[in-house]
Amino acid sequence: MKNFLAASDYTSIGLSLACAVHCLALPLLLVAIPSLASLGLDNELFHLWMLVAVIPISIFALTLGCKKHNRYSLLLLGFLGIACLISAVLLEGLLGETGEKVLTLIGASLIAWGHFTNFKLCKTHTPLCSKH
């Protein structure tokens, strides 16, 4: 279970970074390599699929990790990041493209930081009963 929890944290960090790279690098890549536009990577469906992947993995990994090390503030940090990602998708019309990117980057950063910290705490945590 320990390896599965670590893999969940790594996966969530990777997905968060993919989201950030998508937001920052895709416009530059589309200018540099116009044929990438045919892949449809710039459409909103990408954001929805990222949410479908990130939400359950993040909730799973952070919940199990918090049960292990009792730092429930990380769960709150993860939920705040998820809320930012969902808000970026739902409020795109109000926020505009720049606002959506900023909110997505904030959300991805919060999730990645929460999972990185969760991974470190789970790795160093020793259950109290192991001393006996």
Quote the mean pLDDT of the chain.
78
pTM: 0.72
Nearest 5°: CA angle at 118, between 112 and 119? 90
What pLDDT shows up at residue 81? 93
* Higher-scoring residue by pLDDT: 1, 68: 68
Q: How many helices (H) and strands (E) does the chain have?
A: 4, 0
The helix-helix angle for 92-124 and 73-90 (nearest 10°) equals 160
Q: What is the mean pLDDT of residues 86-115?
A: 88
DSSP for residue 55: H
pLDDT winner (highest mean) among 45-49, 83-87, 98-102, 126-130: 83-87
Residue 8, judged by CB atoms within 10 A of its CB (0-12, 13-18, 19+), counts as: buried
